[in-house]
Structure 1
Amino acid sequence: TYAPEPTALPAADPEHLGELVSDTVLDGARYGACTLRAVSLRGDSARYRGEARRDALLTARFGTGEQALVLVAMATGVRAAPGAHRAAAEACRWIGQAVGRSHERLSEDLRAGRRGDLKSGLNRLTDRTLGKLRAASEEPTASLRCLLLPADPDCRTRIFFGAGEGGLFRLRDGEWLDIEPGEPGGTPPAAGALPAETPDGDRLTLDLGIPVPPSPYEPVVAPAEPPPMPFRFRAAVARPGDVLMMCTSGLADPLRGEAALRAFLGRRWSRAAAPGLAGFLADTRTRVKGYADDRTAAAVWEA
């Protein structure tokens, strides 16, 4: 339907050139037992219409040595909301600041396996971040999804948290599993032919709407408002050879809906080594007819 390469640039304001969003962002790193690849690219529809990328991506390392903590944050601005790309960028920046200020305690809890403290604290940080975006609107203006990765090679725990739509998938032994935490009291999102978590998989933890205790990472300055989007949390233990992928709906939807894309990425990413940055970009931009939204993805290869 659309040309395979960018067509039109978004309109620019000469007084606010710092708000321009590039077509594609690509990043990567290697820490501990994992290799990270991350990308955010403008969808075919936005490229054709000259619209800004509504997805935002942040990758950051806090701390040094084996105590370091790597954060990957991605957000998607609501399509109809004015300044959607700015809301997404602010969500990533604010959650990055909150995690960065508390990274020492977060890293300690992660390595010690204190999942309860992690869940309650990250829930509070997520609520505060999205609450800032809701201050001027009664409706949510962006979804937010994050991964926390320890630099300690002996710690295999990977933490996912956030609120809003998207996907969390694991490639193990050549098979994709949908491990996205579901709605409170419900089931994971419909995944078509994509199998969900197997009974012997990692136990996931959800926010079931119970009151959240004060965050162990930041002092409570005011009660958090009830979030309009359910908080999602998962603490998973990685195995050597696993690939864990977090993504926005722009990639989650075609991965759930198109067996050919699952098979292609499964073959490409089941190799012993993680792809280079150029190869990862080529893989994630594989186009599927009928899916033209922005795509943002972070994948972690386990050694």
Structure 2
Amino acid sequence: MEQVQEYATEDVAGNSPRVPQPLVIGREPRLVSRPGPLPEVRRPDSEIDGAALPGLEIRAASLRGDAHRYFGTPRQDAMGLWHDGGRTLLACVADGLGSKEASHVGAAAACEVAHAGLSDSLEPVTAAARIIESISEEIKARADRLDLPPDELSTTFLAAVVRELPETSAYQAVLMRVGDCMAWCLREGVWLPCFPENDTDAAVVTSATHALPRDVEHVEVACADLYPGDMLLLCTDGLARPMRAPQVSTQLANWWSRPEPPSLPEFFWQMSFRAKTHDDDRTAVCLWRV
């Protein structure tokens, strides 16, 4: 891969550094990556977050896609982080269905209330069902307040409940999803899927039809143990789809396998990479086991 200058440096005159344009991976995209008209629905163009917790370093970002920027439509992705102050972290991402004008409301609702269904006393499948059910009920309630059919707030959803395993060096993530969001563990530079991957585009399209609040019975549950040096990635399909290209997955693995997690500005710049035909909203939460 061609070597690129990744980060800005101060010039000889001591002026403030200029941040370079997002890295183009592969062919030049058709749309220019810059804000367009203001959406009628006011949501921030992008969000960035992060945390340093015992044993974990977290970076999270949700970016409006170039297509939504060009047409002046709102970001339909959302993300959330919640820590109980002890041993439990919940991280989640959601992707409002593009065909539903109010889906951004459903995505935001899912990430805002996901932690309300947490319980230490339930086994993973039952706990996941409880969380998904509580999200579904909240989306229906918000639809009712907006006088809209619940289906108009449809969103996919993925969450990880991460806890330290007693008397071990591992943390365990219990993952739950409805729809086509993806989770991988990055271990020694290799991406390991947390859910079974489908080989055909037809299968991916079929799984993408599952969404909340409708498909509560289609929740999938998986577990992943995280050891020092591992990184868990949760993302919407705006990142999962370009990651099918080896150029993209290799570049992200190179960035995110470095000894130190990126700073918040570095992570936002990395997430802003551009790839032809991939102009959807893009959201990711990365959890490094340190």
Q: Calculate the TM-score normalised by the size of structure 1.
A: 0.72
Pair 1:299–1:228, CA change in 2 (3 A): same
Which residue pairs with 2:158 in the alignment? 145
SS of 2:123's partner is helix
User: How many Å separate the matches in 1 of 2:218 and 2:284?
Assistant: 21
Q: Does 1:172 align with 2:187?
A: yes
Q: Does 1:123 align with 2:119?
A: no
Residues 1-150 of structure 1: pairs in structure 2 closer than 5 A: 1-12=30-41, 20-62=42-84, 64=85, 67-99=86-118, 102=119, 105=120, 117-133=123-139, 136-137=149-150, 141-150=154-163
Deviation at 1:7, TM superposition (A): 2.1
Which residue pairs with 1:230 in the alignment? 218
User: How many Å separate the matches in 2 of 1:289 and 1:229?
Assistant: 35
Deviation at 1:2, TM superposition (A): 1.4
SS of 2:78's partner is strand
Which residue pairs with 2:176 in the alignment? 161
Deviation at 1:48, TM superposition (A): 0.6
Cα pair 1:127 1:227 within 8 Å, conserved: no
Residues 201-216 of structure 1: pairs in structure 2 closer than 5 A: none
User: How many Å separate the matches in 1 of 2:136 and 2:237?
Assistant: 18
| Unpaired stretches in structure 1, ≥5 consecutive residues | 13-19, 110-115, 183-187, 193-224
Deviation at 1:255, TM superposition (A): 0.4
Q: Does 1:270 align with 2:283?
A: no
Root mean square deviation of aligned Cα? 2.4
SS of 1:25's partner is strand
SS of 1:6's partner is coil
User: How many Å separate the matches in 2 of 1:177 and 1:243?
Assistant: 10
Which residue pairs with 2:198 in the alignment? 189
Percent sequence identity over aligned pairs: 27
User: How many Å separate the matches in 1 of 2:219 and 2:161?
Assistant: 16
Pair 1:228–1:33, CA change in 2 (3 A): closer
Equivalent residue letter for 2:241 = D
User: How many Å separate the matches in 1 of 2:40 and 2:93?
Assistant: 23
Size of the aligned set, in residue pairs, is: 241
Equivalent residue letter for 2:286 = A
